[in-house]
Amino acid sequence: MDISVVIPTYNRYNVLQRALASVHAQTHKPKEVIIIDDGSTDKTSQILKLFPDVKYYYQENSGVSSARNLGIEKSNFEWIAFLDSDDEWHPDKLQEHLKLHLEKPKLQISYTDEKWIRNSKEVKLPKKYRKFGGEIFKKCLSHCIIAPSATLIHKDLLSTVGLFDESLEVCEDYDLWLRVAIENEIGLIDKKLITKYGGDEDQLSMKFWGMDRFRVKALEKLLEISESKEELIKSMLIEKYSLLLKGAQKHDKMQDIYNYEKKIEELEN
């Protein structure tokens, strides 16, 4: 299995070193490691001094989706493994993917369970982030249960469903995995093989309020392209619109109230 590792990063020089060290520690070595520097102003450009074998590309700040997509474009091998620069792989992560895909050669995507560290302490994953394998479209509708750093995907599948949506500032992974899960089985390696670190104010999940606003955009787009899952998508959209409507009512946002009420009415009729 020939794997390209794609690491998007932005002003994460110190933790990027940890991420790269975890790639170099893999028992199954990738064929290449690609760093996409999304306009960093820190010492990220000096990372080659510590890891001279990686491939480094710089772009003007365009967002994590743009960075991942450029990494895919620059990759030379059929399998793509994503790793966010503030995350860390466990040593046998890629080896476990190899094992699963040898057992199930028709699988074009797999992911692993994850360990969470918040403010230097391990925390239990909320139930809503429980992992599932197989035909998991319905399980992916409410929240994103697949972390990019946990994922291995074949380029052929990306060619079929498309790349990360660069118009989404966040929830771009939620959007892509839904497009994948519509028609494809997703393999689960039921082991905690990545560590996700959180609690920093500059993380995208901390930066944006009301994440359902972005999930709604992904669901609206999905509704236009999927007939087979139309009723499931509509049901989740009504649920998300209703939550956003309550928030708009709480803050007396009259235009938003009107818009969400109208959207709910259109879907229910």
Kindly list the domain boundaries of the chain, sorted by start residue: 3-207, 227-268
Q: What is the DSSP letter of 228?
A: T
Residue type at position 155: K
Q: Quickly state the pLDDT bin for 200 (edges 50, 70, 90).
A: low
**Residue in 73, 16, 10, 11 with CA at minimum distance from that of residue 38:** 10
| CA-to-CA separations, 160 to 41, 76, 109, 197, 228, in angstroms, rounded | 35, 18, 13, 32, 17
Return the pLDDT at 193.
Answer: 98
Q: What whole-number percentage of the chain has pLDDT above 70?
A: 96
| CA-to-CA separations, 207 to 42, 71, 158, 176, 211, in angstroms, rounded | 20, 24, 28, 21, 10
Residues 6+ apart with CB under 8 A from 213: 244
Q: Which CATH number is 3-207 given?
A: 3.90.550.10
Return the pLDDT at 225.
Answer: 87
Q: Quickly state the pLDDT bin for 206 (edges 50, 70, 90).
A: very low
Tokens of 199: 């609690």
Q: Quickly state the pLDDT bin for 205 (edges 50, 70, 90).
A: very low
Give me the mean pLDDT over the 24-38 stretch.
98
Q: Quickly state the pLDDT bin for 208 (edges 50, 70, 90).
A: very low
* Residue 56 in this model has a pLDDT that exceeds 70: yes
Give me the mean pLDDT over the 228-249 stretch.
94
User: In which region does residue 171 sit, left (phi positive, over 0), alpha (psi from -120 to 50) or beta (all else)?
Assistant: left
Other beta carbons within 10 Å of 231: 9
**CB of 189 closer than 8 Å to CB of 111:** yes
pLDDT digits (tens, 9 = 90+) for 153-190: 999 999 999 999 999 999 999 999 999 999 999 999 99
Tokens of 247: 């928030």
Residue type at position 40: S
Give me the mean pLDDT over the 109-113 stretch.
98
Q: Quickly state the pLDDT bin for 227 (edges 50, 70, 90).
A: confident
Q: What is the CA radius of gyration of the chain?
A: 19
Q: Quickly state the pLDDT bin for 269 (edges 50, 70, 90).
A: confident
Give me the mean pLDDT over the 182-205 stretch.
84
Mean of pLDDT over the chain: 94
Other beta carbons within 10 Å of 134: 11
Beta-strand ranges (E) seen in the chain are 3-9, 32-38, 55-59, 79-82, 87-89, 109-118, 121-123, 151-154, 187-198
Return the pLDDT at 149.
Answer: 98
pLDDT digits (tens, 9 = 90+) for 128-153: 999 999 999 999 999 999 999 999 99
**Residue in 257, 264, 223, 268 with CA at minimum distance from that of residue 240:** 264
Burial environment of residue 103 by CB neighbours within 10 A (0 to 12, 13 to 18, 19 or more): exposed
